[in-house]
Amino acid sequence: RREQARLKASVVEEDTEEWQKDPDFSGLQRVGGVDLSYVKGDESRACASLVVLSFPALEVLYQDCRMVAVTAPYVAGFLAFREVPVLVEAVQRLQQEEPQLQPQVLLVDGNGLLHPRGFGTACHLGVLTDLPCIGVAKNLLHVDGLVRDELHREQVRSLQRSGETFPLIGTSGKVLGMVLRSCNNSSKPLYVSVGHRVSLGTAVRLVRACCRFRIPEPIRQADIRSREYLRK
């Protein structure tokens, strides 16, 4: 908790890059996605995957998949301590080997500020790499009074078209993230939250711009490739 609080002090919740301020994201050329897929029946071995896609074409420019040993135990609310170190290593490898392909923003399969102590995986990875980061979760984390009750389900049903959203407001009154319908073909929403060096509005716009299917392409490609690597 002390370490989370110490690192949380460095989180920047605003846009820091010129491309973020442009409605069409002009100047944004590379978007990264990360994923960890575990070996079935073995929680200590996983494939860590980092991909970089071109933007706006969303074609894979770089991929790094490799087996890693995951040593920290799983503790709810502290997942980042288990997964972020190997993802930081993947980013550092890319910076050393192909610096020209460094992503200008990272999409993370998980939460950012939408977290019991306001410091999820996307914040953790963002602060340690100093890259803009966005949390994109498939399920709602029950924090600050947020629950998947009938009211929440009704709000989700009200999202009729791709790009429609509603804010996640906790009992504290703080906006913790946005619920986004990312494509017309799926009524299941995404839960988008700020990780680091990006505003919530920009995060939602970018996630939507990266979606061909429900899951944004950088995360989808990282997931596909890590699973494929494990199969092989």
Model confidence over 98-141: pLDDT tens digits?
999 999 999 999 999 999 999 999 999 999 999 999 999 999 99
For residue 133, what are the CA distances in angstroms to 38, 140, 150, 161, 162?
23, 19, 31, 26, 22
Task: Count CB-CB contacts under 10 A for residue 91.
Answer: 21
- Ranges in the chain, pLDDT < 50: none
Amino acid 74: pLDDT: 87
Amino acid 76: pLDDT: 87
Please give the backbone phi and psi of residue 61, each rounded to the nearest 5 degrees, phi first: -100, -25
Token output for 227: 């699973």
For residues 177-193, b (16+ Cβ closer than 10 Å) or e, as one string?
bbbbbbbeeeeebbbbb
- Domain-by-domain residue ranges, the chain? 1-231
Cα-atom radius of gyration of the chain, to the nearest Å? Answer: 17
**Which secondary-structure segment (H or E) carries 7?**
helix 2-8
**Which CATH architecture fits 1-231?**
2-Layer Sandwich (3.30)
